[in-house]
Amino acid sequence: MIKILDALINALEGIEIITEPSHVAKLSQDYHTFSPVLVPKLQGKVGDMVVRPSNEKEVIKVAQACVESQIPVTVRGAGTGNYGQCVPLHGGVILDMSKMQGIPWVKPGVARVEAGVKLAAIDKKAREIGWEIRMAPSTYRTATIAGFIAGGSGGIGSIQYGLLGDRGNILALRVVTLEDQPRVMELRGDDVSKVTHAWGINGIITEAEIPLGPAYPWAEVIVTFNDFMAAGRFGQALGNGDGMIKKLIAVFAAPIPEYFHPLQDYIPQGSHSVFLMLAEPSLELLPGLVQQYGGQITYKKPVAQKSLNLGEFTWNHTTLHARSIDNSITYLQSMFPPDPNLELVEHMYHYFGDEVMMHLEFFRVHGRVIPGALQLVRYTTEERLNEIIRYHEAKGVSIANPHTYIIEDGGRKVIDPEQLKFKEMVDPYGLMNPGKSKVLEFKK
């Protein structure tokens, strides 16, 4: 193996390579540490080296060398994923795309960007001409566009534009294959689904073309409630208010807000809270809706003038803040069926109490606003965690299990047959992030 790696290093002369063990180990990890189930399973899983290409030509060179040496390749962005997507199970090359930060062009409504560019950088560039990215995870300052496409599913903005994989939210992808003679493929329209949310098993994304949305002047708002279900129903009503332009509706049951130390002046002890991002022209209509559901606005500030960033307390940043205080806390990812009265949410809220603390994020699915949840779980044992998951599923709640590194066992349940066909074509030797799919392991 040492001889193979030495030959690989020689073949990649001129491209940045990292072999220092502690540095390689660090770049072999992501935020799977949120899961006490994944930590022991992924312990000690590291690459043999890290390669950092600075352009597509270098990516092709890496692909060619890895095919010739039959070395596994695990592509990495910023490592902000939570399921071990970029943790190499079989060593090999960690392909760190963080140097590819170019933005070839931005036009009204669309942008072309390289794989390693950060979402915040795209947003900044797009806003220069009055546009912005449609959606982003709470890690938007550090997450890369290709990492988001390969491992993410939605985020801030999904209340308006749906999920990342919905038709039209990704326009095109440029991908390098791991065939005997690596090719560069341009996938457009529905063909992008062959690569999206595939955890880097279906080719190396080098560029993406994404749609943009109009850049509104946004305001951040905190609304507090004495009753959790009043907070939830307020969130649902606001989500259904199509005339009000919003980017974020996050609902937190007490005691979750207690983990948000910088926000304590705005959230009374024991209260439930809703964090919002609304277009400023919609603010005039907000107090009436808040009053209707018995809430109180405790914080309101234009984003341009803010000292806080409420988005960094939402989605899975909520879990990060909670774990910074109590690292025994883990989380679930749930999708509740459409229900204007949130009866199933209410049942789960009362049934589990503080063992499963309710955190809702509203987003649009097939044209309907529904509550997703990233509940905080007071972890005891894996058996109890699985009981909680099974209870939710038995009641009709869809669980995207964040405690597995296997694609089929997570949110997907099955791999798209079209993705499998594409995989066989672009990665005939199974070198791309091996071990992350039951179907692919069985085929071996």
The predicted-structure confidence for 187-244, as pLDDT tens digits, reads as follows 999 999 999 999 999 999 999 999 999 999 999 999 999 999 999 999 999 999 999 9
Residue 273 forms part of a structural domain? yes
Give CA–CA dist 174/185, Å, rounded.
6
Same domain, 315 and 241: yes
Question: In percent, how much of the chain has pLDDT > 70?
Answer: 98
Same domain, 261 and 383: yes
Does the pLDDT value for residue 320 go beyond 70? yes
Task: Please count the other Cβ atoms lying within 10 Å of the Cβ belonging to residue 164.
Answer: 23
When pLDDT is cut at 50, 70 and 90, the band that residue 340 belongs to is confident
Residue 295 forms part of a structural domain? yes
Does the pLDDT value for residue 108 go beyond 80? yes
**Residue 173 Cα distances to 58, 116, 425, angstroms:** 18, 13, 17
Same domain, 231 and 354: yes
Say which range, 123-132, 289-298, 333-342, 376-385, has the weakest mean pLDDT. Answer: 333-342
pLDDT in tens, 378-412: 999 999 999 999 999 999 999 999 999 998 887 65
Same domain, 88 and 120: no
Mean pLDDT of 335-350: 95
Residue 109 forms part of a structural domain? yes
Same domain, 134 and 165: yes
Can you give the pLDDT at residue 438? 79
State which of 76, 96, 116 marks the end of a domain.
96
Same domain, 226 and 338: yes
Residue 424 forms part of a structural domain? no
State which of 168, 198, 214 marks the end of a domain.
214
Mean pLDDT of 37-45: 97
Same domain, 202 and 285: no
Residue 73 forms part of a structural domain? yes
Same domain, 251 and 153: no
Mean pLDDT of 156-161: 98
Confirm if 402 and 332 have CB atoms less than 8 A apart.
yes
pLDDT in tens, 259-314: 999 999 999 999 999 999 999 999 999 999 999 999 999 999 998 776 689 999 99
Same domain, 71 and 117: no
Can you give the pLDDT at residue 413? 61
| CATH number of domain containing 349 | 3.40.462.40
Give CA–CA dist 232/293, Å, rounded.
10
The count of domains in the chain is 3
Same domain, 254 and 365: yes
Same domain, 201 and 233: no
Residue 232 forms part of a structural domain? yes
pTM of the model: 0.95
Can you give the pLDDT at residue 444? 52
Residue 77, helix vs strand vs coil: coil
Region for 131 from its dihedrals, namely left if φ exceeds 0, alpha if ψ lies in -120 to 50, beta otherwise: beta
Name residues whose C-beta falls within 8 Å of residue 380's C-beta, 6 or more positions apart in sequence. none
pLDDT in tens, 423-443: 999 999 999 999 998 776 545
When pLDDT is cut at 50, 70 and 90, the band that residue 3 belongs to is confident
Same domain, 149 and 61: no
Confirm if 224 and 296 have CB atoms less than 8 A apart.
yes
| CATH number of domain containing 45 | 3.30.43.10
Instruction: Supply the range of the domain harboring residue 345.
Output: 218-400
Residue 239, helix vs strand vs coil: helix
Residue 420 forms part of a structural domain? no
